[in-house]
Amino acid sequence: MQILRETQERLDFIPKWAVDYLAQALCLDGAQIQAVIDFYAFFYDSSRGKYRILFSDNVTDRMQGNTALLSRMLSKFSLTQGQVSGDGLVSIDTASCTGMCDQGPALLVNNYAITRLSSQRIDQICELIKSQTPLVEWPAEFFSVQDNIHRKDVLMTTEMANGQALKRAMELGPQGMLAEMKTSNFRGRGGAGFTTGVKWEACKNAPGQTRYVLCNADEGEPGTFKDRVLLTSFAERVFEGMTIAGYVIGASKGLVYLRAEYRFMLERLQAQLEARRKANLLGKDILGQQGFNFDIEIHMGAGAYVCGEETALIESLEGKPGRPRIRPPFPVTHGYLGQPTVVNNVETLAKVTLIAQNGGAWYKGLGTKLSTGTKLLSISGDCDKPGIYEYPFGVRISKVLEDCGARNTMAVQVGGAAGTCLARHEFGRKIAFEDVSTSGALMVFGSNRDMFEVARNFSHFFKHESCGFCTPCRVGTTLLCNILDKIAEGKGTGYEMNELSRLHQLLKTSSHCGLGQTAASPVFDTMQKFRPSYDRRLKQKDFEPAFDLDAALAPAREIMERDDADAHLENEL
């Protein structure tokens, strides 16, 4: 994966001769390498132009006007979406959520993010491309990515010197630190909420001599950008949390899987790792303790939402298409390279330092009994202050909406596209594992929004991001989109509504992984809670075909120079 990324950054795409060369150099079959290239959205085996423009097409970007800006740029170059200009200069297309929902609309140019797009900025970008100005000479403010932190709690307010939490963990010893983790009842912040101490203990006790710590920084869930902020301003906490995890389970290597959309962070994060090595916080005999060896590498993804699933992430790290594995066995016993592996997300690892510093009992006193500690929320959509908010678990949705400046809110999507859609009567519910569980995304929709179109956008996202491994997801997400598109075109009936409910049940019970299992959830939720947005589009008939066969035969009639009554299908029927 990293060799392919570096090859593409040098050549702009990965040509056939490069595949052949790499196959020989790596002792791999060329088909294996090509399969990897074909799987990931940000790998190209043909030229996509010197400037590759990808507009973020998350629902919040659409709410902020990305569609008009995309059309504006396409017209400037006289291109259609996905087309490469004849001179090989530029291509313009869309991508899924780029993690910039708090400062969109956004786009990627050669994988580097540009935020806060406007008509004026689009015109400036077009002129820079036409003059073939190198990216390093583009205005620096184009690439400015802000943290937008609006509420801090213990993670972001606690002052901690580099190495401070690690020293405390080493004073406790591996078993003592593990005991503090279990006392804290700290649950992973990736969404599933598995108890972190139990996961670490299972990995620590698994057979084998080699163990790994993986940091899942592939936050591809629409509306989520908290990991971006943590890696921008609190990366040292994340790296220290990884080191503590390595110390506890006996691992000597950690890997950060960084999503491709965060390419702009790579050099800075690598510099921070090098500084930690020089300070003896990474490397051999850390802080003078003989035999405590642990180091961290950063691996980049290449545009695949499904790699946020831990086993798909491991497959990707191993240089393969990122398709989820069948479980069991679980990563704690058979993970990266078949060895015991702990996979935690960015927020989880950052908060490990708080437990090391202050103890498990202190952390258990925060939040609720079943959801200890705090939660970072990425808030976007119809509110005055989109950005990052840290709350103790148990905060009510209504309080969050008040703090972010949301007014006349009709719905809140908690947990991204795969999460839960809440209507106004549910705003008294709490953010907690025992009530509304979330990986951190919270999208706000005002009373002027069309929840049918929101669900339709999410469905197209899932169709685009399906890995294709299992038939229920591969076919089901396509059928879901086809039905919603049919309803949008005014050809929907009660039959289609019944089919949507049937597909929801089929996907939920038959799909291989969480992507397929939740793909129809936003449709099902909005059907139940915002039914009028569907009903007003429906016909009164029991069924309306979406495909006009007689119209499709028009070219044949033209070729045969016939347009009489017998040449039309309805007359035959």
Give the CA distances from residue 175 to residues 182, 204, 245, in Å, rounded to whole numbers and listed in that order.
11, 10, 11
Closest CA to 188 of 418, 349, 313: 349
Together in a domain, 267 and 397: no
User: At which of 340, 364, 388 does a domain end?
Assistant: 364
Do 230 and 249 reside in the same domain of the chain? yes
Give every CB contact of residue 222 below 8 A, 6+ residues apart in sequence.
58, 59, 60, 96, 97, 101, 416, 417, 441, 443, 458, 461
Reference 462, options 475, 451, 444, 445; nearest CA is: 475
pLDDT at residue 568, as a whole number: 81
d(CA 23, CA 30): 5
pLDDT of 571 reads 47
Q: Is residue 457 part of a domain?
A: yes
Largest CA-CA distance found in the chain, in angstroms, rounded: 92
Q: Are residues 89 and 36 in the same domain?
A: yes
Q: Going edge to edge, which strands form the sheet with 341-345?
A: 295-300, 253-258, 212-217, 341-345
266-278 and 235-249 helices, crossing angle to 10°: 60
Work out how many domains the chain is built from and give that number: 5
Q: Indicate yes or no: pTM above 0.95.
A: no
- Report how far residue 69's alpha carbon sits from residue 119's, in angstroms, rounded to the nearest whole number: 6
Predicted local distance difference test score (pLDDT) of residue 543 = 67
- Evaluate whether residue 36 is within a structural domain: yes
What are the C-alpha distances in Å from 242 to residues 214, 431, 497? 8, 26, 47
Do 472 and 423 belong together in one domain?
no
- The whole-angstrom separation of Cα 202 and Cα 185 is 15
Query: Are residue 466 and residue 423 in the same domain, yes or no?
Result: no
Closest to 143 measured CA to CA, from 111, 97, 112: 112
Query: Same domain, yes or no, for 351 and 209?
Result: yes
pLDDT of residue 541: 64
- Residue range(s) defining the domain that contains residue 226: 151-364
Do residues 172 and 256 share a domain? yes
Question: Please, what sign has the CA dihedral across residues 19, 23, 28, 31?
Answer: positive
Q: Which residues in the chain come in under a pLDDT of 50? A: 571-573
pLDDT of residue 557: 84
Both tokens assigned to 497? 């509504």
One domain for residues 179 and 325 = yes
Whether 234 maps to a domain, the answer reads yes
Q: Is residue 422 located within the same domain as residue 389?
A: yes
In a shared domain, residues 194 and 288: yes
Q: Phi/psi class of residue 385: alpha, beta or left (left: φ > 0; alpha: ψ in -120 to 50)?
A: beta
- Specify if 289 maps to a domain: yes
Tell me, yes or no, whether 11 and 120 share the same domain: yes
- Which of 99, 118, 143 is at the close of a domain? 143
Q: What pLDDT was estimated at residue 572?
A: 44
Q: Is the peptide bond before 329 cis (omega within 30 degrees of 0)?
A: yes
- Nearest-angstrom CA–CA distance, 419 and 518: 8
